[in-house]
Amino acid sequence: MTTDNDRLLLNAYIDGELDPAHALEFERRLGESPALAAERARIEALRGAMRERLPRETASSELRRRVTALARPRPSVARWGSGWGSNWGSMAASIAVAFVAGSVATFVAVGPGAREPVPELLVASHMRGLMASQPIDVVSSDRHTVKPWFNGKLPQSPRVVDLASQGFPLVGGRIDVIGLTPAPTLVYRARQHVISLTALPAAQRAGGTIRPVDGYNVVEWTDGELAYWAVSDLAAPELENFAKAFRAGDAEP
């Protein structure tokens, strides 16, 4: 029989929300209590089923257009009467085009070149990837396709690790320009979330500490000559799991 408190702890343990000391203590209790272990299996089964079976919800292109139009460049609302009435939808498409053009120009204007710190540049690339209709240049879940694609284009190619069995399927890769350096970026997924993993020449050793940058989590670690940076809106413990899995992963077949 499990108590209410045990259930709260169990859920927090599964979600990676217990601090290391409590997590260790709880693992010991899990080992001793078949009831708790069974409850854990049920919760993990539920999480797995939700992850695999629930369809990914995406905003329709029509909704995306309407929302984009909210931030339209010309403040000519008055002309359309009292605001967001029925007739502005028909104008949304042309406005969206103007707006996208505008935002591209903005991006170039504020983009790389200035001495912006690397994490901010990486987050900007990640965001640009999320906003693009196609966030990746080479679409493949097969690392034997993705790695050669980089080989042909960049002097150094990153480790490409297959993490599908750990809940992080590879979706492809792209080349980001960070400052003035073209850098290979692998794109992984974790449920609905995108992880951008960029390899840069290592400037200093980094041990994988996670930190928030502009609302995203960023974690950096070094491996030989390269620094790997993972950027995602995943919760910090999950991004840490990803980093751990990638570092432990076998890059060779």
Partner 1 sequence: MDREDSRTRFTNVVMPHLDDAYGLARWVTGNRADAEDVVQEACMRAFRGIAGFSGGNARAWVLAIVRNAAYDWMRRNRAPTVVHVDDLEAIEHMQTPEDATSAVETPEAALIARADEARLEAAIAGLPTVFRETLVLRDVQGLDYREIATITGVPIGTVMSRLARARGRVIATLGAET
Four-residue CA torsion sign, 214, 193, 201, 175: negative
Please identify which residue in the block is written with the tokens 């089923």.
49
Residues in the chain, how many?
253
Q: In what order do the strands lie in the sheet with 170-178?
A: 138-139, 170-178, 181-190, 193-201, 226-232, 216-223, 207-213
Please tell me whether residue 190 binds partner 1 under the rule CB under 8 A: yes
**Residue 214 in the binding site for partner 1 (CB under 8 A):** yes
Residue 81 half-sphere exposure, CB side, CA atoms within 13 Å? 5
Round to whole Å and give the CA distance between 51 and 173.
23
Of 31, 73, 113, 201, the residue at the interface with partner 1 (CB under 8 A) is 73
The footprint of partner 1 on residues 162-181 (CB under 8 A) is none
Min dist. Cβ of residue 127 to partner 1 (A): 5
Cβ nearer to partner 1, comparing 42 with 205: 42
- Burial status of residue 208 (CB atoms within 10 A of its CB: 0-12, 13-18, 19 or more): middle
Indicate whether 64 belongs to the interface with partner 1 (CB under 8 A).
Answer: yes
Residue the block writes with tokens 């695999």: 52
Instruction: Kindly indicate which of the ranges 69-77, 136-144, 158-166, 202-210 contains the residues binding partner 1, using the contact rule CB under 8 A.
Output: 69-77
Among 19, 32, 57, 225, binds partner 1 (CB under 8 A): 57
Taking CB under 8 A as the rule, does residue 79 contact partner 1? Answer: no
Q: Which of 55, 85, 117, 152 binds partner 1 (CB under 8 A)?
A: 55
Q: Is 8 one of the binding residues for partner 1 (CB under 8 A)?
A: yes
Tell me the window of 3-11, 136-144, 172-180, 203-211 that interacts with partner 1 (CB under 8 A): 3-11
DSSP 155: S
Site residues for partner 1, 122-141, by CB under 8 A, read: 127, 130-131
Evaluate whether 139 touches 133 at the Cβ level (below 8 Å): no
Does the protein bind partner 1 through residue 54 (CB under 8 A)?
yes
> Does residue number 66 form part of the binding site for partner 1 (CB under 8 A)?
yes
16 CB-near residues (< 8 Å, 6+ apart):
235, 237, 238, 241
Binding residues for partner 1, rule: CB under 8 A, are 4, 7-8, 10-12, 15, 17, 35, 38-39, 41-51, 53-60, 62-64, 66-68, 70-73, 75, 84, 99, 102-103, 106, 127, 130-131, 190-193, 212, 214-215, 233-238
